Amino acid sequence: MMYREKIQPDPSTCSYVFNAYVERGFHSTALEALQVLSMRMISHDPNTLEDVREEYEDHIISEEPGEAETNIAEIFTHSENLAASFLNLRWCSIMGSSISWVPDENPWAKRLANSYTAEMTAAL
């Protein structure tokens, strides 16, 4: 519903959703959700995400020790949400998730969309 209403997630939302899945033992789903919410913290618009991909990807997948973290820490002075999304995405990448810059293609996002559509259809 947040996505449909264009409500941008914040670091707290990411944390609550991630922890809820982890506490239930759904670790891969937790990473999928964290990735989608973090991408949507950057932008809801897929075109915007594609436009900034090259610029932002270095902050997320850099293999230079400490370089990405230093760059992300500098971003905190301008935008805490953007920096938090980078840290979340970097952590997802370190944990072995491939980073998709199209959140709607993420399995978690697809399951939620299908579930929401089914609920809305049943309610009619």
The one-letter amino acid code at 87 reads L
10 pLDDT higher than 90: yes
pTM, entire model: 0.85
43-91 pLDDT per residue, tens: 988 889 999 998 888 888 888 777 878 888 888 888 899 999 999 999 9
Tell me if residue 123 falls in helix, strand or coil: helix
| Distance in angstroms (rounded) separating the CA atoms of residues 43 and 32 | 17
Which stretch of 3-7, 8-12, 16-20, 33-37 has the lowest confidence by average pLDDT? 3-7
DSSP 46-115: HHHHHHHHHHHHHHHH--STTHHHHHHHHHTTT-HHHHHHHHHHHHHHHTTPPPPS-GGGSHHHHHHHHH
Place of tokens 């199209």: 102
120 pLDDT higher than 70: no
